[in-house]
Amino acid sequence: MPHDKNPIEQSPEVAEFWQAARERRLLLKRCGDCGERHFYPRPYCPFCGSARTSWEQSSGRGTIYAFSRPRKLPQPLAMAVIELQEGVRLTSVIVEAELDRLAIGQEVEVYWRMGEPAPELAFTTIEAQEARGYATRAIAEAAGVGG
Ligand SMILES: [Zn+2]
């Protein structure tokens, strides 16, 4: 079955965004006239209307500005407004974290969920990400000892 590209990925204005997403990088748009950054990517700056916008890579890190935990969802996640280190606020979801312990101001980072037709932007807590990193290293070390 041929790979059907998501229609949004075919748009030349956002092709670069989705290419970066597949590499687990988050791109923001920055205006060449007023200097403001924005998300979601648009061809014209939402602050001043300028067409002189260009891509800039985000740190992918930020903090929780607001969140809510809908109880009746098929998968565990929290809806959240994230404030990126770059000052941009965006609405996303928090996954793969201790959702009962989320707090305003908690540090989060981008956690792309790879899927078709397009990667899905999500965030996870730095705490959960570090715990996973530790577990991965422990497994690798155990495997090394065993082999
Ligand atoms: Zn502008």
Residues 21-79: tens digit of each pLDDT: 999 999 999 999 999 999 989 889 999 999 999 999 999 999 999 999 988 888 889 99
Higher pLDDT pick, 89 / 146: 89
Q: Ligand 1 centre from 47 Cα, in Å?
A: 5
CB 120 within 8 A of CB 22: no
Task: Tell how far the Cα of 112 is from the centroid of ligand 1, in angstroms.
Answer: 28
Torsion sign across C-alpha atoms 49, 55, 59, 60:
positive
How far, in Å, is the centroid of ligand 1 from the Cα of 95?
Answer: 32
Please give the distance, rounded to the nearest whole angstrom, from the Cα atom of residue 39 to the centre of ligand 1: 13
Cα 49 to ligand 1 centroid, rounded to whole Å:
6
Q: What is the pTM of this model?
A: 0.84
**Ligand 1 mean position, distance from CA 32 (Å):** 7
Read off the tokens for 97: 């974290």
Task: Say if residues 86 and 38 touch (Cβ distance below 8 Å).
Answer: no
Structural domains for the chain: 7-146 (2.40.50.840)
Q: CA 73 → CA 69, 76, 78, 79, distances in Å?
A: 9, 7, 10, 11
Ligand 1 centroid to residue 56 C-alpha, Å: 14
Span from the CA of 58 to the centroid of ligand 1 (angstroms)? 18
E strands of the chain, at which residues?
27-31, 37-38, 53-57, 61-68, 78-84, 89-94, 107-110, 123-125
Q: What is the pLDDT of residues 107-126, one digit of tens each?
A: 999 999 998 888 999 999 99
CB of 56 closer than 8 Å to CB of 29? yes
What contacts 78, CB < 8 A, 6 or more positions away?
A: 67, 68, 69, 93, 94, 99, 102
Residue 131 token pair: 């715990």
- Reading the block at residue 40, the tokens are 């979601």
31 CA to centre of ligand 1 in angstroms: 5
Ligand 1 center from residue 101 Cα (angstroms) = 37
Q: Return the structure tokens found at 146.
A: 């065993």
